[in-house]
Chain A
Amino acid sequence: MDLIDLAIGNLTSPIILSFALGLFAALARSDLSVPEAVAKGMSIYLLFAIGFKGGVAVNEAGFSATLVGALVAGGVLSAALPFVAYLMLRAMTKLSALDAAAVAAHYGSISIVTFVAGTSVLDSAGLAYDGWMVAVAAVMEAPAILSALWLVARSGAGRSVDGDLWREILLNGSIVLLIGSFVIGWITGTDGLTRIASFIVSPFQGVLCLFLLDMGLVAGRGLRNSRDVLRPGLLAFGILMPLIGAMAGGVAGVALGLGTGSTMLFMVLGASASYIAVPAAMRVALPEANPSIYLTMSLGVTFPFNLTLGLAIYLSVARLITGG
């Protein structure tokens, strides 16, 4: 299957078409909307399901040096990518140091929905991946925030990281749920999964479709309301940076000797930009940074790019570099 076939297969999948529907509805000013409580409920469901299934996979396969290496590599990647993003933003755009650091933090952290969409692409292609990659995703949530805060502190702006902010960064709901459900899945194993499979396995793809419909709506509204923010330099960054992040993830995957599926997921993690955990931390730590810039960039530019074209590109490259 070549890149074009992969891209077409991906673009015509139910999850991407659901996202496209949401995007279209928002841009066309339809009154279609998903209530906030429903969106949060679906988010909790997806995080729980993917964490649980990852834990079950570790229960079956056991811990290995590769897993530990992947966790370390994920943390390093997350901490390092904001520096690359920051330098690119300062070179390509007119953003202030503060806004550039805030945007950079998003590109070091990850989007768990992009990760889930990546696993969906792998399932469709019949490619296996390591279940513990979800633990790597959890590890990659926070280090980028600290890198961005360090970048800002260098310029004398920002505020000190107090106990509340540490809690916000390390114990935000999505990290706790992802790691917690991972541990539950790891403890209970296949028996536990069998008991709740009808809830967390069968409906998963359907819930993911609805969630992506909502993401499309939110992204479309963000684009509609923040058109002034999107200058050509920022747009170019929003597409170039995920490709660089994916390349770094690919190098890490190959260096660790991961298979094609896991290497592709590492690329997805490197390429994706956060829109839940990091924006919240930035609002507390860097309130002077403009939220419409970083939210529009991560959710309105990079998320749709990764979903529509990125995933197919990353899978093709992963196949090429791992010989899969």
Chain B
Amino acid sequence: MKTHPAKRVEITIEEIMETRLTTALLKADVTGFTVLPVKGGSGRSGHWTRAGQVGRAGGMVSVVCIVRPDRLDTLLEAAFAVVEPHIGVVSVTDCEVLRAERF
């Protein structure tokens, strides 16, 4: 089956910043993304878990976008303006997609 090269960008960011990030992505014409909940983890700020939490301050979400390689810089510039001072991780990986016209 024919596949096409694409870039998969995963942004793990504080839950409180989710709307700001997705709004920035939409403004940059990145209209396709998936928001996933994150149960817990460990990093520079120590170990954490969402179990039993009622506030949004201690939580993280993962925003996953798959874009054409030529759209990568636009996406990263839009995302970085939002996430730069905040706790989180931004990673980019190569991937293959089946229906290129959708990205």
Contacts and interface: CB of A to CB of B under 8 A. Distances in A.
Interface of A: 33-36, 39-40, 43, 164, 168, 214-215, 217-218, 221, 225-226, 275-277, 279-280, 282-284, 287-288, 290-292, 295
Given A287-B85, A292-B45, A292-B46, A280 B57 contact: yes
A39 B17 CA distance: 21
**Dominant SS at the A interface?**
helix
B14 A283 contact: yes
Given A287-B85, A288-B85, A218 B46 contact: no
Interface stretch (B26-34, B48-56, B65-73): B48-56
B5 interface: no
Nearest to B56: A280
A39 B45 contact: no
Contacts of B57: 276, 279-280, 282-283, 291, 295
A217 B14 contact: no
B52 A284 contact: no
A225 B86 CA distance: 20
Interface of B: 14, 16-17, 19-20, 45-58, 85-87
B58 A36 contact: no
A284 B46 contact: no
A39 B52 contact: yes
A277 B54 CA distance: 10
16 contacts: A36-B52, A39-B52, A40-B54, A43-B54, A168-B16, A214-B54, A215-B52, A218-B52, A221-B49, A225-B46, A225-B47, A275-B55, A279-B57, A280-B57, A282-B57, A292-B45
A291 B47 CA distance: 12
B16 A284 contact: yes
Contacts of A283: 14, 16-17, 57, 86
Nearest to B58: A295
Q: Which 6 A-B pairs have the closest CB atoms?
A: A279-B57, A276-B55, A33-B51, A43-B54, A34-B52, A287-B85
Contact of B48 (A33, A214, A225, A288): A225
Nearest to A33: B51
Contacts of A168: 16
A39 B57 CA distance: 15
Contacts of B16: 168, 280, 283-284
Contacts of B19: 164
B45 to A, nearest CB: 6
Given A33-B52, A39-B53, A287-B87, 10 more contacts: A36-B51, A36-B52, A39-B52, A276-B54, A276-B57, A279-B58, A280-B16, A283-B14, A287-B85, A292-B46
B53 A218 contact: yes
Contact of A291 (B45, B54, B85): B45
Given A283-B16, A287-B85, A35 B54 contact: no
B8 to A, nearest CB: 26
A119 to B, nearest CB: 19
A287 B57 CA distance: 11
